[in-house]
Amino acid sequence: MPAAVRSRSNLRSALDKRLSGASHLRVVPQPHVARPAPFLKWVGGKGKLLPSLRPLMPEGKFRYAEPFLGGGAVFFDLRAEDRLEHALLCDVGRDLVGACRVVRDQLPDLLTRLHAHEAHYLGENEENRALYFYAVRNRHPADFPMDDVERAARMLFLNRTCFNGLWRENRAGRFNAPHGRYANPGIVQSDKLHAASIALQGVDIRQADFRALPELVQEQKIEFVYLDPPYHPLSTTSSFNAYSGGQFSGKAQGELADVCRRLDRQGVRFLLSNSDCGYVRELYRGFEVGTIRAARSINCKAESRGDIDEVVVRNYSN
Ligand SMILES: C[S@@+](CC[C@H](N)C(=O)[O-])C[C@H]1O[C@@H](n2cnc3c(N)ncnc32)[C@H](O)[C@@H]1O
């Protein structure tokens, strides 16, 4: 089992020691560490919903799991508030999980590779930037073996330079979002990555399907789980939910509700968010179901973008 999550100041000095021991650093020492926050742009990220979600969380400190990590907005917020005794973070996305681990364990090397991408990209005109983007996108790790750091740098570079920061994979698990044409995409976010790396020290990060959650929760004595699955679509054209090689089906939503019932029987508190529709409400009948207001931006029809209610389900009350 991984070591318990250490306090922020301990983490910072541990990381500083590790960083100062490396000879090939391109990390500039930070005068202060920024509040940790997601270092990836992530569709469905909960950053803007934190003010509505915070009051719904259990009070005090807890052993925490987040099985649909994405950009990790809720994890980073709880970590910044020093609420976590221990943290287990999972997602099915191979590149996402790999990038989080590299940010945790190999930040100096990652920054070096990101600087190289940045130098190539920013030194080109618009047309050649697009060519560089597609060259990196087409160099898929399945065909071109690459180490974890190179793979993570590829993901972060594509995430910053693609259209809308959309990490979307086709059925074969290949990232396929188009080039974004941003004048200054911020490819190397040293401060953000440094803060995230510190926040991730001692955290267990796994590539896992949500169906593995009950066993992991039991093994690691988890007390509170926040679940943010891909939204159940409100219509056939709404709600992007193809993060990792395929849609998150209605059947998967049903299996997730079974997992939540199992957590409940295990005596573990859970908070889940999803789109507000009859199907989701029906799946969680018997639990406390409320709504919060969410801005939805990934929608096929521009006119149907905008604020919308999101359902929140809990098996406890404060
Ligand atoms: C709505 S996003 C989570 C966003 C996150 N809360 C944030 O603030 O950025 C849903 C995540 O679930 C992941 N996912 C999809 N299917 C999954 C599965 N079967 N098991 C675990 N994770 C899955 C996706 O890769 C995606 O990162």
Q: What is the pLDDT of residues 16-26, one digit of tens each?
A: 443 343 334 34
Which of 64, 69, 259 is the pocket-test mutation for ligand 1 (most atoms within 8 Å of CB)? Answer: 69
Q: Which of residues 142 and 193 earns the better pLDDT score? A: 193
pLDDT, tens digit, for every residue of 261-306? 999 999 999 999 999 999 999 999 999 999 998 765 544 444 445 6
Strands 288-296 and 269-275: unpaired
Sketch out the chain's domains with CATH numbers. 8-93+190-314 (3.40.50.150)
- Kindly give the distance from the C-alpha atom of residue 256 to the centroid of ligand 1, in angstroms, as a whole number: 12
- What is the torsional sign of CA 187, 196, 194, 137? negative
Closest by CA position to 43, among listed 87, 73, 75, 66: 73
Inter-axis angle of helices 8-21 and 190-200, nearest 10 = 120
- Kindly give the distance from the C-alpha atom of residue 301 to the centroid of ligand 1, in angstroms, as a whole number: 23
Residue whose CA lies nearest to ligand 1 atom number 8: 45
Burial of 93 (0-12, 13-18, 19+ CB in 10 A): buried
| Rg (alpha carbons) of the chain, rounded to whole number | 20
- Kindly give the distance from the C-alpha atom of residue 43 to the centroid of ligand 1, in angstroms, as a whole number: 9
Q: How many CB atoms lie within 10 A of CB 56?
A: 17
Query: Between the CA of residue 220 and those of 1, 208, 247, 263, what are the distances in Å?
Result: 7, 15, 29, 13
Separation CA 72–CA 104 (nearest Å):
13
Give the mean pLDDT of the chain. Answer: 87
- What is the torsional sign of CA 3, 6, 10, 15? positive
Provide the pLDDT for residue 166: 86
User: How many residues does this entry show for the chain?
Assistant: 318
Do residues 227 and 260 lie in contact, with contact meaning Cβ atoms separated by under 8 Å?
yes
- Kindly give the distance from the C-alpha atom of residue 232 to the centroid of ligand 1, in angstroms, as a whole number: 12
3 state SS for 251-296: HHHHHHHHHHHHHHHCCCEEEEEEECCHHHHHHCCCCEEEEEEEEE
- Kindly give the distance from the C-alpha atom of residue 300 to the centroid of ligand 1, in angstroms, as a whole number: 20
Do residues 257 and 283 lie in contact, with contact meaning Cβ atoms separated by under 8 Å?
yes
Angle at 208 between CA 204 and CA 211, to 5 degrees: 120
Provide the pLDDT for residue 241: 58
pLDDT for residue 9 is more than 70: no
pLDDT, tens digit, for every residue of 155-197? 999 999 999 888 888 888 889 999 998 988 999 999 999 999 9
Provide the pLDDT for residue 196: 98
Which of 167, 210, 243 is the pocket-test mutation for ligand 1 (most atoms within 8 Å of CB)? Answer: 243
Banded pLDDT at 2 (limits 50, 70, 90): very low
Residue whose CA lies nearest to ligand 1 atom number 3: 70
Expressed in angstroms, the distance from the first to the final Cα of the chain is 30
Residue whose CA lies nearest to ligand 1 atom number 23: 92
Buried b (16+ CB within 10 A) or exposed e, 245-254: beebeeebbe
What H or E segment, with its residue span, contains residue 309?
strand 306-314
Percent of the chain with pLDDT strictly greater than 70: 83
pLDDT, tens digit, for every residue of 88-105? 999 999 999 999 999 999
- Kindly give the distance from the C-alpha atom of residue 69 to the centroid of ligand 1, in angstroms, as a whole number: 6
3 state SS for 70-133: CCCHHHHHHHHCCCEEEEEEEECCHHHHHHHHHHHHCHHHHHHHHHHHHHHHHCCCHHHHHHHH
Separation CA 117–CA 121 (nearest Å):
6
Residue whose CA lies nearest to ligand 1 atom number 11: 68
Closest by CA position to 88, among listed 192, 259, 207: 207
- Kindly give the distance from the C-alpha atom of residue 243 to the centroid of ligand 1, in angstroms, as a whole number: 7
Separation CA 132–CA 126 (nearest Å):
10
Which of 68, 205, 253 is the pocket-test mutation for ligand 1 (most atoms within 8 Å of CB)? Answer: 68
The owner of tokens 């190179």 is: 150
Note the Cα 299 to chain centre separation in Å. Answer: 20
Provide the pLDDT for residue 119: 96
Ligand 1 site residues (CB inside 6 A) read: 38, 42, 44-46, 67-68, 70-74, 91-93, 209-210, 228-230, 243-244, 248
- Kindly give the distance from the C-alpha atom of residue 151 to the centroid of ligand 1, in angstroms, as a whole number: 20
